[in-house]
Amino acid sequence: MLLTALLSACSDSSDKTQPVSQEPKVPGVVVLSPDSPKKAYVKTANLSLSQHPLLEPLAGKIIYNETTTSRISSPVAGRVITTPVALGTLVQAGSALLELDSPDVADAEANFAKSQADLMLARHGFNRQRELYAGKAVSRKELEQAQDNLNDAQSEVQRTQNRLKNLRLGVRQNDGRYALRSAVSGVVVERDVNPGMEVRPDRDTPLFVVSDIKKLTVLMEVFEVNLSKITQGKRLSISVPAYPGERFPATVKYIGQVLDETTRTVQVRGELPNTNGRLLPGMYATITVESDPSDQAITIPLTAVFTEDDADFVFIALDENHYQQRPVEIALRLKDTAVITKGLQPNQKLVTEGALMLRAEEEVETDAANP
């Protein structure tokens, strides 16, 4: 029995001194055991090509398209005698928005009537003087004076008639009323007039704003360092807080020719279709300048990147337990993402979260392998 116990003890001692087999250490590769709690902090995603972002999204504002917008004021003083067109009304170019009883219009009509009467009188006078001159009853000077009076009367008729045309009044109209009309087709989006109100042509604000809201403009400020990435015709993608997750297409229409020396920005306007009328002037917008569809790149979240000695690195998941460190080159670093030009390929599995934890684990494994 004593011999058997001694043999058993020797056998146990021999088993305990045998080294535990471990996977060989590969530089840059981190191995986590299948049951490691650290794996819960590691998140991965498959890499794929996407449209190459050009710059950080810009802040902007949706405004009226000035080419389809008219701010309408009255060119004459007067009192509103009809009910003005209501907000939201669809009007055509030339549609009456309201009617005024205007002393200015009455004066213009009276001046035209008087000028016509004066012209008739001047014409009779000239004809009479011409007959008398032919009979040598008056001097040539008197005939020339009659001709001058006729010319003045004709000029006055032309002047007063042009005034009526400027106000879009008919020459036969003689009621002192003035119809304020829309210059464009669209929707009455603003109205600042009520029945019975007295209006004047020197009013600071327009009485109506009529605009085709199916054609809007997006306004943005672009820093001068990014101007080379903005060209006329460049495609834009617009998002607004009212419709989360939705994108609306736009196109760069105008690039300002003056740099604001205070902000170092240039004003850029984009043409924004609004066929369904969901977008509204005054909305704030986030604007993404899109690259050509053929310009593809790998874009990764910044949470996947860590920096050492002025170089950038990420981890690639080789399988469920093995992770390899990779150096990468970043072409553009945005707010939350980075554009990679070298070091990664599509269909690789990137560690998007937990890269720093894996880097710390790599240091531990290295220290353990080199005591």
- The span from the CA of 315 to the CA of 325, in Å, is 4
Q: Which CATH number do you get for residue 254?
A: 2.40.30.170
pLDDT, one tens digit per residue, over 171-198 is: 777 888 999 999 999 999 999 999 999 9
Model confidence at 18, pLDDT cuts 50, 70, 90, reads: very low
- The span from the CA of 53 to the CA of 335, in Å, is 12
The gap from C-alpha 149 to its chain's centroid, in whole angstroms, comes to 60
In a domain, 191, yes or no: no
Q: Of 158, 174, 190, which residue constitutes the final position of a domain?
A: 174
- Residue 50's pLDDT is 84
Helices and strands in the chain: count of H runs, count of E runs: 4, 23
Q: Are 196 and 83 in contact (CB under 8 A)?
A: no
The percent of residues in the chain predicted with pLDDT above 70, rounded, is 91
In a domain, 329, yes or no: yes
* Residue 29 clears pLDDT 80, i.e. is over it: yes
Burial, 1: exposed, middle or buried (Cβ in 10 Å; 0-12, 13-18, 19+)?
Answer: exposed
In a domain, 10, yes or no: no
Tally of CA atoms within 13 A in the half-sphere of 89 that contains its CB: 15
Model confidence at 331, pLDDT cuts 50, 70, 90, reads: confident
In a domain, 151, yes or no: yes
pLDDT, one tens digit per residue, over 198-211 is: 999 999 999 999 99
* Residue 348 clears pLDDT 50, i.e. is over it: yes
304 with 261, same domain: the answer is no
* Residue 103 clears pLDDT 50, i.e. is over it: yes
DSSP 271-337: EEE-TT----TT-EEEEEE---TT-EEEEEEGGG-EEETTEEEEEEESSSSEEEEEEEEEEEE-SSE
Model confidence at 53, pLDDT cuts 50, 70, 90, reads: confident
122 with 168, same domain: the answer is yes
For the whole prediction, is pTM greater than 0.85? no
304 with 280, same domain: the answer is no
pLDDT, one tens digit per residue, over 208-225 is: 999 999 999 999 999 998
In a domain, 110, yes or no: yes
pLDDT, one tens digit per residue, over 274-302 is: 999 999 999 999 999 888 777 788 889 99
In a domain, 8, yes or no: no
Per the structure, the count of domains in the chain is 3
Q: Of 115, 146, 174, which residue constitutes the final position of a domain?
A: 174
What is the domain range of residue 352?
A: 29-52+296-369
Average of pLDDT values for 154-159? 95
269 with 304, same domain: the answer is no
The CB density around residue 127, as the number of other CB atoms within 10 Å, is: 12
- Residue 180's pLDDT is 94
Q: Which CATH number do you get for residue 323?
A: 2.40.420.20
294: its two tokens: 């053929």
343 with 275, same domain: the answer is no
241: its two tokens: 């807080």
3-state DSSP call for residue 175? Answer: coil
219 with 285, same domain: the answer is yes
- Residue 369's pLDDT is 57
- Residue 85's pLDDT is 95
Q: Of 236, 258, 289, which residue constitutes the final position of a domain?
A: 289
237 with 300, same domain: the answer is no
Q: Which CATH number do you get for residue 146?
A: 1.10.287.470
